């Protein structure tokens, strides 16, 4: 957000957030298929049922505890889709509002990963040069903090 603001407060600010998310996603995935990976955190080893548009991928034991009810699992769901600008705006808006977390958007070879979160996003790219080019293209979007974070 402009002036290093973390959360959108009105529709004009949501427009900025979604425009920035989609601009970077277009740069990474235009014309390609992507996986949209969403996590679901539970204390149950059983995989919960979800929407038919998302496929179960795998479950991870995140916190092993001798007491079963204190164990934490992360169930990952992956939806395969062609990338189109705006196709996951509802999910991105929920991410910007911290209603969901841990979303990953990746190419089908998992070489480039976009991880949006409230207040920004991380982009994991294939080379340092690619990373530097993206940072330079969007330098005015970086935080005013000295680290850029």
Q: pLDDT tens digits, residue range 106-138?
A: 999 999 999 999 878 999 999 999 999 999 999
Please give the Cα distance from 128 to 38 (Å, whole number): 27
Asked if residue 4 lies in contact with residue 117, where contact means CB atoms within 8 angstroms, the answer is no
What is the SS3 assignment for 31?
coil
Q: Residue written as tokens 């970086």?
A: 142
Asked if residue 105 lies in contact with residue 29, where contact means CB atoms within 8 angstroms, the answer is yes
**What is the arrangement of strands in the sheet containing 72-82, beginning at the earlier edge strand?**
55-63, 72-82, 33-42, 104-107, 113-117, 120-124
Q: pLDDT tens digits, residue range 39-91?
A: 998 888 888 776 645 688 889 998 888 887 888 999 999 999 999 999 999 99
Domain extents in the chain: 2-141
Record the pTM: 0.85
């Amino acid at each position: 957000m402009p002036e290093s603001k973390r959360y959108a407060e009105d529709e004009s600010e949501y427009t900025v957030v979604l425009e920035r998310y989609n601009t970077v996603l277009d740069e990474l995935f235009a014309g390609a298929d992507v996986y949209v990976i969403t996590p679901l955190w539970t204390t149950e080893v059983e995989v919960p049922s979800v929407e038919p548009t998302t496929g179960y991928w795998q479950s991870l034991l995140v916190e092993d505890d001798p007491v079963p009810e204190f164990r934490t699992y992360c169930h990952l769901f992956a939806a395969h889709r062609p990338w189109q600008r705006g196709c996951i705006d509802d999910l991105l808006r929920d991410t910007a509002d911290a209603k969901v977390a841990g979303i990953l958007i990746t190419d089908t070879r998992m070489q480039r990963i976009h991880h949006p979160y409230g207040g920004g996003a991380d982009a994991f790219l294939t080379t340092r040069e690619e990373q530097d080019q993206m940072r330079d293209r969007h330098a005015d979007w970086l935080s005013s903090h000295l680290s850029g974070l």
